[in-house]
Amino acid sequence: MSLDGFPPFISAQLHYLINHFPDKIKVEQVLSGGKTYTGGLDRFTLLIPYCLDYIKWDIKYNAEFPLAPPDIIFGPEDEDFHPLHMTGRVGEGDLKFWNILSDWNYKDPTRLLALIQELRDRYMAYQKKRVGEVDDDRLTFEISTICSREGIEMQISSGAEKPEEVKFAVPLMDMNINKMVHGCPWRHPQKIYLQVIYPVGKKYASTPSAPRLKLMSTTELRALFTIEDVKLPSWLDGMCMAEYLPHLEESLQKQVLEAVSLIDIRRHFIEALAPLFGRPLEADPVFCRKATFLASSGSFVFLVHFHISTLFPKQQPALMFQSSQHISPQGIPKKSPLLAEYPWSPRWEASQMAERIFDFLADESLNFKRFCNESQPQH
């Protein structure tokens, strides 16, 4: 996001926060709080990742008095969250928190990051305490079996129109996926989580309801691996997370390793296109998901865009033509719809795949040329 309009000291702290926070943090609702001061923007809302969702905290600096730390207003659903009174006694964590505030140095760009990280840690402890106080034997047992698992987050939610629920965000697999992809462009660690949502049980319920399960991942991971294609194992009656997770992780690990190996399969396919189409004008060098070639049919010159799925070669590439000679009235080059219906077998060698696509394009390019000529405005 653009940090224009902020005073330099706020801009520096925000920039450091955005670039060094472990997960992707968002900034919204930027405005100025001063009625007479024109020194710039000084308040905004932070969307902080927590438990596979976002918590919203309003950050209010006073640009007229930069020596003071910002005020932080938590959401209405967290009115019982009092980070300065978490333990009832002064401990090492409390002293650290007080030091962040009392030693506030507005010229230090790391200050806001340190404050938000400390508050988020306290928020995580607050939510864990709330979940631990729920009067539900199954939840008490689940927490006791997974409390040693690193990185797990939990949250309790309730409302007037929905029953009380406890949500767990469980990080899966101790794998550094970023290091497995050569030339990885990701700034943040790529992770896969299991979201587990338990309805809080009633004492008179004979059989506890099964939790709702959903796989979730960081957004950038989809360039390599699509979790929507993963079939979750069944949750059996009487099962707990400690039993469920090892089988899921073993299956996921195999699928992630296969997804990494498919990068080279896609790269080999793009290389097999070159003898027929020439060198690609553009190609995705990391994940090998896209490539663009220049083609011609007589005097008709056009581009061929290849969109290659993570499921390649089981799923054939989608093709799109783009004319270099026909422009719409809006100044946009004429393009075909995506084409994915043509002869294909995942068992073919890459060279045969390329040859069959080349033969298909030789015929289909005539239809595309006719489409471009017929849709061209007459003068």
What CATH number is associated with residue 109? 3.10.110
pLDDT value of position 32: 85
Distance CA 321, CA 339 (A): 9
Could you tell me which of 106, 112, 118, 107 has the C-alpha nearest to residue 18? 112
Q: In what order do the strands lie in the sheet with 318-327?
A: 282-283, 290-297, 300-307, 318-327, 333-335
Determine the angle formed by the axes of helices 8-20 and 111-132, rounding to 10 degrees: 50
Which uninterrupted H or E stretch holds 222?
none
Give the best-scoring range by mean pLDDT among 33-37, 158-162, 291-295.
Answer: 291-295
Q: What one-letter code names the amino acid at 64? A: E
Cβ–Cβ under 8 Å, residues 83 and 123 = yes
pLDDT value of position 86: 56
Q: How many domains does the chain have?
A: 3
pLDDT value of position 147: 79
pLDDT value of position 154: 93
Cβ–Cβ under 8 Å, residues 187 and 156 = no
The CA distances from residue 123 to 31, 110, 308, 347, 373, in Å, are 26, 20, 42, 52, 62
Give the best-scoring range by mean pLDDT among 169-183, 195-209, 364-378.
Answer: 169-183
Distance CA 312, CA 259 (A): 10
In this structure, is residue 187 part of a structural domain? yes
DSSP code, position 339: B
Task: Give yes or no: residues 253 and 283 share one domain.
Answer: no
In this structure, is residue 249 part of a structural domain? yes
CA angle, 212 as apex, 211 and 215 as ends, to 5°? 125
**Model confidence band, residue 94 (pLDDT cutoffs 50, 70, 90):** low
Q: What one-letter code names the amino acid at 260? A: V
β partners of residue 327: 333
Cβ–Cβ under 8 Å, residues 134 and 155 = no
**Model confidence band, residue 19 (pLDDT cutoffs 50, 70, 90):** very high
Examine the fold and report which residue of 233, 259, 285 is the final residue of a domain before the chain moves on: 259
The tokens for 37 are 């001061």
End-to-end CA, the chain: 45
pLDDT value of position 200: 83
pLDDT value of position 16: 95
Examine the fold and report which residue of 121, 153, 186 is the final residue of a domain before the chain moves on: 121
The tokens for 362 are 């030789």
pLDDT value of position 188: 85
Distance CA 230, CA 171 (A): 16
User: In this model, does residue 143 exceed pLDDT 70?
Assistant: yes
In this structure, is residue 268 part of a structural domain? no
pLDDT value of position 5: 84
Give the best-scoring range by mean pLDDT among 2-16, 261-275, 320-334.
Answer: 261-275
CA angle, 212 as apex, 178 and 225 as ends, to 5°? 25
Task: Give yes or no: residues 338 and 245 share one domain.
Answer: no
In this structure, is residue 270 part of a structural domain? no
Task: Give yes or no: residues 291 and 360 share one domain.
Answer: yes
Distance CA 305, CA 212 (A): 40
Task: Give yes or no: residues 249 and 285 share one domain.
Answer: no
Q: What one-letter code names the amino acid at 268? A: H
pLDDT value of position 77: 86
Task: Give yes or no: residues 58 and 153 share one domain.
Answer: no
**Model confidence band, residue 149 (pLDDT cutoffs 50, 70, 90):** confident
Examine the fold and report which residue of 71, 95, 121 is the final residue of a domain before the chain moves on: 121
- Higher-confidence residue of 348 and 325: namely 348
Range 78-95 average pLDDT: 67
pLDDT, the chain, mean: 88
Is the peptide bond preceding residue 329 cis, with omega within 30 degrees of 0?
no
Domain that holds residue 337: 275-375
